[in-house]
Every structure is written in C-alpha cells, then in structure tokens.
Amino acid sequence: MPSSTPSPTSRPARYTRTAMLMHWVLGLALISAFGVGLYMTGLPFSPQRLKLYNWHKWAGVTILTLSVLRILWRLTHRPPALPAAMVQAMPRWQTLAHHATHGLLYALFLAVPLIGWAYSSAAGFPIVFLGMWQLPDFVPVSKELAEAIKPWHQYTAFAMAGLVVLHVAAALKHQFIDRDGLIGRMLPVPR
C-alpha cells in the first residue's frame, strides 16, 4: 500500500548541493555521450562522423574526470541515510538492488571511459582533449587488442544505460507510487 506524502518533519535528509550538481551534470553527460555514441556508429565515414567521434572522446574524458571527483566526494561526504521507515517498508531485494545498482554505476562510471580510452589507444587513434591536449596512450597500439577491446566498450556502455534506466525507474516509483519524498533528496529545490 503506497504511503502518503511525508510530513515536513519526516522528509528524508538531503544531499549536499555539490553532490546534487555532480549527480545531474554527470547524468546529463552520460545520456548525451551514450546518444552520440549510438548515432555516430551508424554514420558513414565522413568529417561529421570524425567530429562526433572526437566529441564522444572528449565527453568520455570529462565523464571520467567528473566520476573520479564524484567518487572522491562520496568517500569524504557520506550520503544521507535512507529513512528508517522507508528501509523497513522496502522488501530486502529492493534494498539489495538499491545498493548493487549504485555500486555498479560507480564502477561503470570509471570502466566505460577507461575501456573507450584503451580501445582508442589500441586502434592507434590518440585522444586529443578539446583538440589541444593529447592524452598518453592507455595501452600499446595493437589491431588485435583493439578488436578484443572494442565490444567491451559497447557492452559496458549498454550495461550502464540499463542501470541508469533502472535508477530512474526506481526514483519515479518512489515519487509517484510510494510518494515517500525520496526523490526530493537529490532535487536542487526541495519538494
């Protein structure tokens, strides 16, 4: 049975503004990079495709940097605990899914861009961030290694996209079915 909207005194504790900013910026960056990645792979070889590949690489470097900063922030600033009443109302599998989804997302925040960087290096296409700074090769140039790595960038990107969809679906469930105010913890304006 869905609970009623929590009273102001029972609202869950909120994340810090820095955590909220990192959450939303990283979320938008991930969705953008994933969308461009899907689009660019279907294009014929052209200057537009090369331009999008470079943009995708820059987005990957940015996502990797934001992810490291976000993980460091998370390690030094504990997130607000779920309210005890909410934890008691959630079936055990939901609590496990909550923790597993967050843990896997954090791992994939690092893995997806690192695998992309490794693929780009192995394929012999250096990453020149914003067209100005060439990043060192992550692995040696090797056609065989590039072919072995290439599908893993796609697999991990799709895994992350699936987890993002699951994360959004869970947030919407809490907002519209459970009506427990949980989503307000991550909104810049309290609800």
pLDDT, tens digit (0-9, with 9 covering 90-100), for 53-87: 999 999 999 999 999 999 999 999 988 988 787 88
Q: What is the mean pLDDT of residues 8-27?
A: 82
Q: What is the residue-averaged pLDDT of the chain? A: 91
22 domain residue, yes or no: yes
Q: Domain limits at 23?
A: 14-186
Backbone φ and ψ of 78, nearest 5°:
-60, 140
Query: CATH number, domain at 53?
Result: 1.20.950.20
- Is 54 inside a domain boundary? yes
Confidence of residue 113 (pLDDT cuts 50, 70, 90): very high
Once rounded to an integer, what is the mean pLDDT over residues 136-156? 97
2 pLDDT higher than 60: no
Question: What is the share, in percent, of the chain residues with pLDDT greater than 90?
Answer: 77
Residue 104 placed within a domain = yes
In total, how many domains does the chain have? 1
Tell me which of 2-6, 49-53, 94-98 is least confident. 2-6
Token digits of residue 85: 């009443």
CA distance 104 to 113: 14
Mean pLDDT of 109-129: 97
Phi-psi region at 11: left, alpha or beta (left = phi > 0; alpha = psi -120 to 50): beta
**Separation CA 66–CA 21 (nearest Å):** 11
| Any domain includes 84 | yes
Residue 58 domain-assigned?
A: yes
Give the pLDDT score at 180. Answer: 86
Residue 52 has pLDDT above 60, yes or no: yes
Residues 39 and 52: their CA atoms lie apart, in Å, by 9
Averaged over 118-140, what is the pLDDT? 95
> Within 10 A of 134 (CB to CB), how many other CB atoms are there?
10
**Assigned domain for 138 exists:** yes
Residue 3: per-residue pLDDT: 44
User: Does residue 191 fall inside a structural domain?
Assistant: no
